[in-house]
Amino acid sequence: MNSRLDDHFFPSPTRKREVFKRADPRGCFSPRQRCTEHATLDRDLTTKLAEKVMGWRISRDRFMTGEREWIPIHRFQPTERIGDAYKSLERARPTEYSICASDTGVCHVRIRIGTAIGEACDESPPRAVTIALANALGITVGACA
């Protein structure tokens, strides 16, 4: 398990007190408190979702979606496009999910798949959905340098 990423997005019970000192009362992090290397984390998260949730194989510059079918990697961006995030969410078949937005522009997402629950807060709704889905599925990505 990668502790630096987990500390940013999925606080463990042992570090809860320390982590929530940096967060607002709901445990949401502002963009300044998150890792600055979003592009790398988003790419890693996208490829892991494509493999685990969508059932796609990854090639050099494309996702192999099925029998001799493919899409370019830049066409599937669940952390940037809400349509792709919902496509991943729909494919994961959650038992239930909720998406709430505050007046400050922060989106809070809670997803339950079986007994696993994933939650995330972010100013970007697609990123919040994707991170909550990854949390519910137990997907972890590499830490920031």
pLDDT of residue 140: 79
Q: Model pTM?
A: 0.71
Residue range 83-92: mean pLDDT, rounded: 96
DSSP conformation letters of 81-132: -HHHHHHHHHHH--SEEEEEE-TTS-EEEEEEETTEEEEEEESSHHHHHHHH
Domains of the chain (ranges plus CATH)?
Answer: 3-137 (3.30.2120.10)
Average pLDDT, the chain: 78
Residue range 93-97: mean pLDDT, rounded: 96
Residue range 24-43: mean pLDDT, rounded: 58
Cα dihedral 53/110/99/87 (nearest 10): 0
Q: Which of 24-33, 78-87, 126-135 has the lowest mean pLDDT?
A: 24-33
Residue 9: pLDDT band (50, 70, 90) is very low
pLDDT of residue 7: 47
Cα separation values, 103 from 31, 81, 98, 107, 120, Å: 16, 21, 17, 9, 17
Residue 132: pLDDT band (50, 70, 90) is very high
Q: Which of 8-22, 36-50, 110-124 has the lowest mean pLDDT?
A: 8-22
Residue range 46-67: mean pLDDT, rounded: 91
pLDDT of residue 28: 53
